[in-house]
Amino acid sequence: MSTQLSAGSTIETRCTRCKGILNHSIVAMVGEKIVRVECSTCHGVHAYHPAKALKGPAADKATSKKAAAPRKTKVDPEAAARAEWVELQPGMDSAQAIPYDMNRPFRLKNLLSHPNFGLGIVQLLIPPNKIDVLFQDGKKRLRCG
């Protein structure tokens, strides 16, 4: 960028009549901006059409910042419950499982066997008459006595 452009300077730009990039003389400038040029080939005077403006870093302003970091996928509680059941399963002795009966009381860690859900471990007592039981299918809230 050694040459300072001014009226009278020759530059290469697109001629609207010749439809090509040709030498033009600068006819008029506003500040450092070329506004009118004269084609050296057809001598037509026309507005200066800058050859495809270079996209500088200024064009990167649009960088979006609004998108917050995506949340980490929460651990699926059901999957977690299944994993927990699998972990506890070796310790479950089905012979000692208490057949589930909604009228009998259960205690924490009781092993019970449910006609639909199979073996489960009482994980939470919810007074007055509910229990959370971890089954292979996940946690279930059951009635108890």
Binders in 15-34 for Zn ion, by CB under 5 A: 15, 17-18
Quote the strand ranges of the chain, DSSP E. Answer: 10-15, 20-30, 33-39, 45-47, 98-99, 111-114, 118-126, 130-135, 138-143
Task: Based on the shown chain and the rule CB under 5 A, indicate whether residue 49 belongs to the binding site for Zn ion.
Answer: no
Task: Based on the shown chain and the rule CB under 5 A, indicate whether residue 42 belongs to the binding site for Zn ion.
Answer: yes
Name which position in 34, 37, 39, 92 contacts Zn ion (CB under 5 A).
39
Residue with Cβ nearer Zn ion (48 or 135):
48
**Only segment of 42-50, 90-98, 100-108, 114-122 that touches Zn ion (CB under 5 A):** 42-50
Residue 140, classed as helix, strand or coil, is: strand
CA distance 106 to 23: 95
The set of residues, in sequence order, having a beta carbon less than 8 Å from that of 3 and lying 6+ positions away, is 9
Residue with Cβ nearer Zn ion (16 or 89):
16
Structure tokens at 108: 């924490």
Structure tokens at 8: 């009278």
Task: Based on the shown chain and the rule CB under 5 A, indicate whether residue 97 belongs to the binding site for Zn ion.
Answer: no
Name which position in 41, 89, 96, 129 contacts Zn ion (CB under 5 A).
41
Of all residues in this chain, which one has the CB nearest to Zn ion in the complex?
A: 39
Binding site for Zn ion (CB under 5 A): 15, 17-18, 39, 41-42
